[in-house]
């Protein structure tokens, strides 16, 4: 139909512009990577380490370019009311990352992590391609900055792209702070800890938030704010009740799994374990932020997530700086803990949302149940992993499984809400 052809024409124009802008930035970063690394990213590293970081940064630009297109593909499929493959895409990205950590790293060293990220980005895009052609996609080699539809799209995309830039800035600040720790493996442990935490966050937070977006958009278009609030509340109750105990159970049993999966020595494995545990403390914040941000995107108010991420960046810098100043012996885990700023961002977004819709969001019951389940499940998982004889990996897995099972009766009423999302 003509309307669909016009939609794909607009998509092509936006994608072409995104590719040109991202490609231009990538060329700039590729040329000046060493200077950026030396002065901005990790100035506290040795010269040899900075050379390696610059090399990895140049390599990672491949995934950045892929994501610039994959994100638009995801948005276009959601606009066509197709949600399965866009919801699966983040999981495929995690698959690529894990494959890189477990298969590429033993063969290629630290470069294997970047290869895993590139593979994950490629899978993120590839899994969505079949649906793209199912809806009659046809690429148009055109670019007109005066195109009305393109200008309207940029009004919504602009703040969202700035929000993504703010999030990426946090990663840069993270490595910047880590470079002053003078701790072997600090940046590596932060990268692995982040990757491990992202597995449950993607399977729970990203998946549920992606599935919720069409419902929220439809309710917002009809100004049905009471139902809008109820939908958000249900999703938050599910995520809070699940992510708090999941984080606790994973933290209890993760140590032998880290050493077995990645093959590091005992000292590095311990550092990765504690860094992962610090990140798992922020799992709930990451997950509910997915819902909070999408609620504003559904309302076509992309500026609020941008304001929130600016505040989050400032808090992350403050917490991280205080951490490496007064608690430097803790090392990388204190920087990971600085992501607790995300929980504050999420609460702030939900507060703003309640004020703008005049619908208070109440989830304290889920918080209490999640905390109780976390204590019981975490203690169970840790005790079983500690006292059951046998392989450390098997006992850790068994402890996590049983720890998770004992949580279920406590949070069952929230889990049943999944059927109503």
One domain for residues 213 and 135:
no
Q: What is the pLDDT of residues 380-400, one digit of tens each?
A: 999 998 888 888 899 999 999
Residue 104 and residue 63: Cα distance in Å, rounded? 16
- pLDDT-based confidence at residue 21 (cuts at 50, 70, 90): confident
Residue 111 lies in a domain: yes
Prediction pTM value: 0.89
One domain for residues 222 and 112:
no
Residue 240 and residue 250: Cα distance in Å, rounded? 15
- pLDDT-based confidence at residue 2 (cuts at 50, 70, 90): low
Q: Specify the DSSP element, H or E, that contains 116.
A: helix 111-126
pLDDT of residue 308: 95
Number of domains within the chain: 2
Residue 45 lies in a domain: yes
One domain for residues 281 and 368:
yes
CB crowding 322-358: b at 16 or more within 10 Å, else e: ebbeeeeebbbbbbbbbbbbbbbbbebbbebbeeebe
pLDDT of residue 219: 94
Residue span of the structural domain in which 389 resides: 205-421
Residue 160 lies in a domain: no
Residue 174 and residue 190: Cα distance in Å, rounded? 8
Residue 139: left (phi > 0), alpha (psi -120 to 50), or beta? beta
One domain for residues 272 and 348:
yes
Residue 362 lies in a domain: yes
Cα 289-293-298 angle, rounded to 5 deg: 145
Residue 283 and residue 240: Cα distance in Å, rounded? 9
Residue 192 lies in a domain: no
pLDDT of residue 235: 96
One domain for residues 378 and 243:
yes
Q: What is the pLDDT of residues 48-90, one digit of tens each?
A: 999 999 999 999 999 999 998 898 888 788 777 777 888 889 9
One domain for residues 233 and 363:
yes
What is the number of H-type helices and E-type strands within the chain?
Answer: 17, 0
Between residues 164 and 35, the one the model is more confident about: 35
Q: Residue for token digits 């389940």?
A: 373
Residue 338 lies in a domain: yes
Residue 180 lies in a domain: no
Domain end (from 139, 160, 193):
139
One domain for residues 122 and 217:
no
Q: Residue for token digits 């930035």?
A: 25
From the list 224, 153, 198, the residue with the least C-alpha distance to 336 is 198
Residue 235 and residue 227: Cα distance in Å, rounded? 12
Residue 407 and residue 404: Cα distance in Å, rounded? 5
Question: Is the pLDDT at 266 greater than 70, yes or no?
Answer: yes
Domain end (from 95, 121, 139):
139
Cα atoms in the 13 Å half-sphere on the side-chain side of 418: 13
pLDDT of residue 13: 82
One domain for residues 215 and 124:
no
One domain for residues 276 and 128:
no
Q: What is the pLDDT of residues 212-249, one digit of tens each?
A: 888 998 999 999 999 999 999 999 999 999 999 999 99
Residue 400 lies in a domain: yes
From the list 367, 403, 363, the residue with the least C-alpha distance to 383 is 403
One domain for residues 114 and 228:
no
Domain end (from 124, 139, 154):
139
One domain for residues 117 and 241:
no
One domain for residues 122 and 250:
no
């Amino acid at each position: 139909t003509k309307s669909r052809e016009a939609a794909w024409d607009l998509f092509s124009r936006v994608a072409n512009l995104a590719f040109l802008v991202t490609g231009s930035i990538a060329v700039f970063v590729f040329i000046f990577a060493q200077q950026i690394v030396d002065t901005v990213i990790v100035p506290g590293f040795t010269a040899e380490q900075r050379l390696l970081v610059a090399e990895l940064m140049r390599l990672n630009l491949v995934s950045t370019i892929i994501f610039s297109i994959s994100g638009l593909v995801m948005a276009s499929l959601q606009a066509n009311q197709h949600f399965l493959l866009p919801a699966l895409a983040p999981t495929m990205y995690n698959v690529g990352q894990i494959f890189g950590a477990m298969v590429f790293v033993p063969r290629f060293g630290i470069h294997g992590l970047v290869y895993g990220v590139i593979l994950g980005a490629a899978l993120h895009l590839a899994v969505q391609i079949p649906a793209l052609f199912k809806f009659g996609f046809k690429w148009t080699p055109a670019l007109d900055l005066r195109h009305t539809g393109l200008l309207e799209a940029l009004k919504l995309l602009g703040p969202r792209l700035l929000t993504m830039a703010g999030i990426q800035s946090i990663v840069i600040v993270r490595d910047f702070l880590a470079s002053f720790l003078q701790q072997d493996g600090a940046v590596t442990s932060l990268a692995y800890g982040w990757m491990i935490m992202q597995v449950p966050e993607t399977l729970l937070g990203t998946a549920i938030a992606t599935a919720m977006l069409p419902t929220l958009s439809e309710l917002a278009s009809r100004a049905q704010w009471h139902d809008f609030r109820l939908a958000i509340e249900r999703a938050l109750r599910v995520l809070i009740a699940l992510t708090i105990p999941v984080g606790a159970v994973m933290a209890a049993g993760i140590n032998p799994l880290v050493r077995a999966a990645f093959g590091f020595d005992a000292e590095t494995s311990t550092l990765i374990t504690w860094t992962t545990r610090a990140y798992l403390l922020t799992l709930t914040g990451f997950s509910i932020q997915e819902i909070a941000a999408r609620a504003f995107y559904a309302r076509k108010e992309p500026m609020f997530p941008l304001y929130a991420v600016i505040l989050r960046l400032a808090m992350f810098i403050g917490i991280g700086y205080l951490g490496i100043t007064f608690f430097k012996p803790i090392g990388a885990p204190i920087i990971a803990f600085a992501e607790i700023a995300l929980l504050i961002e999420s609460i702030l977004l939900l507060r703003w949302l309640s004020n703008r819709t005049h619908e208070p969001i109440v989830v304290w019951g889920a918080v209490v149940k999640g905390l109780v389940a976390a204590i019981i499940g975490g203690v169970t998982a840790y005790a079983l992993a500690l006292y059951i004889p046998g392989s450390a990996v098997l006992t850790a897995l068994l402890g996590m499984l049983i720890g998770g099972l004992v949580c279920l009766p406590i949070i069952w009423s929230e889990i049943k809400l999944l059927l109503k999302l």
